[in-house]
Amino acid sequence: MTTRRNLLKAGASAMIAGVVPVSMVRLAFAEPEQDFIFAYISDSHIQHIKGNRFVRNWDQGLIRAVAETNLLEPKPDFVLFGGDLAQLATREELDHGAEILSGLRFKTHMVMGEHDYYLDLGEYWSRLFGEHYYSFDHKGVHFVVLNSILTYDDWTHNRWESGERRMAEMAGLDNPNGSPFMVGEKQRAWLKQDLAVVSRDTPLVVLSHSPLQKIYKGWNFWTEDAEQVQKLLQPFRQVNVIYGHVHQIQYNQIGNIAFNSVMATAWPWPYPQSYAQAESHLPVLTVPMNRADPFDERDATGWQLIDLHSGRVDLAYNLYANQNRLVAFNEHSGRPEDKRFQDPANRIVPQTHY
């Protein structure tokens, strides 16, 4: 059988070489049977305008990620979608998003995002995609998908006159009416049980929509019971948490847990208001963007090719017209690091002349 690294060595994998920097090629793998690649697409925010019209920009971001993923050669083992397929969780949006995702030629695992959930508490999403949280095993690696965007029952069930209002409130940033995300007691009990039968030496990959760490509450870059979830994960030797929601590249290490975020296909946070004479339907934003090319609506968006080797994940960010990035686990420092920009000397100096 031809393995991925044989292909990389042989130079016959031109398509994948376009995405994965050469630095990902390794000479020795601890457990070669646990080495594989999968693609990660997230946060497409498919948005319905009316009738059969959807926001072109968001459609195009997801369509491009699907088309590029389908070009990967050798092929990824599967694809993960990291949540927020829709913008306001309507049937039209979820159906339209599911239709675009159906173009993928690979098995796809879905993660729930708050934009998929708060209209009908994930009911229609379930009809399309199944369980809100679940686990599966692949080549000796245990994958856990959590629904991390739940919140207090009182906020969810007693506070709003309609699902539409509830969805709109949860979609807001810096919203005093909002509520922090959480995994919740019921799901933590399930997680504890699920992990009880897994060997501590088994590599874990935990997939959630919100970060299972606390970054910024006002935008729900936050999971209220993050510490309790982390406590369940810490006994395992190699834990990788991959989350969406933040629309930017983040990485961190807490104990045995390596945290990596994935990019959105829709827009980067923060993002610019760029000029367009044609109506654009962008949500109103309060924070200006200073890193994307305002001309290119795909700039600072993208998708990921994830290389799982030796129980750790390396994320190759495919950033369309921008410079691709690689965040890989550094065995020496024991944490994820950007392969190029970790060294301050290699960073791109901010633009001071406009």
Partner 1 sequence: MRNFHFALLVLFMGPTMGAALATDDLGLPPVPIPQTNPQSAAKIALGDRLFHETRFSSTGEVSCSTCHDEKKAFTDSPLVASEGIRKLRGTRNAPTVINAAYNATQFWDGRSPDLEDQAQHPFVNPLEMGLPDHGPILEIVSSDPEYIDAFRDVFGIEPAKITMQQVTQAIAAFERTVVAGNSAFDRWYFSGQEDAMSESAKRGFQLFLREGRCVSCHSIEQDHALFTDHHFHNIGVGINEIQEKVPPLAKAFLKAKAEGADVDKTVLADKNISHLGRFAVDEQLSSMGAFKTSTLRNIALTAPYMHDGSLATLRDVVVHYNNGGVGKAGDPINPFLSGGIRPLDLSEQQIDDLVAFMEALTSERFVAQTGASNSLDSAVPSRPDRLATTQGE
- In the complex, which residues of this chain contact partner 1 (CB under 8 A)? 11-12, 14-15, 17-19, 56-57, 60, 63-64, 66-68, 70-71, 73, 275-279, 295-299, 318, 320-321, 354
Least separation in angstroms between CB 295 and partner 1 = 4
Least separation in angstroms between CB 322 and partner 1 = 9
Least separation in angstroms between CB 67 and partner 1 = 3
- Residues 329/258, Cβ–Cβ less than 8 Å: yes
Angle at 106 between CA 100 and CA 108, to 5 degrees: 70
Distances (CA, A) of 239 to 234, 271, 284, 313, 331: 8, 31, 37, 9, 14
Please say which residue, 22 or 28, places its beta carbon nearer to partner 1: 22
Please say which residue, 60 or 253, places its beta carbon nearer to partner 1: 60
Please say which residue, 18 or 163, places its beta carbon nearer to partner 1: 18
Please say which residue, 11 or 176, places its beta carbon nearer to partner 1: 11
Least separation in angstroms between CB 336 and partner 1 = 23
Taking residue 75's Cβ as centre, other Cβ atoms within 10 Å add up to: 16
Task: Evaluate the omega torsion of the peptide bond into residue 21 and state whether it is cis, within 30 degrees of 0.
Answer: no
CA–CA distance, 194 with 313 (Å, rounded to integer): 21
Tell me what percent of the chain is helix, strand and coil, each rounded to the nearest 5.
25, 20, 50
Please say which residue, 49 or 276, places its beta carbon nearer to partner 1: 276
3-state SS assignment for residue 10? helix
Please say which residue, 55 or 110, places its beta carbon nearer to partner 1: 55
Least separation in angstroms between CB 279 and partner 1 = 8
Least separation in angstroms between CB 180 and partner 1 = 33
Q: What is the CA radius of gyration of the chain?
A: 20
Residues in contact with 75: Cβ distance below 8 Å, sequence separation at least 6, in sequence order:
105, 106
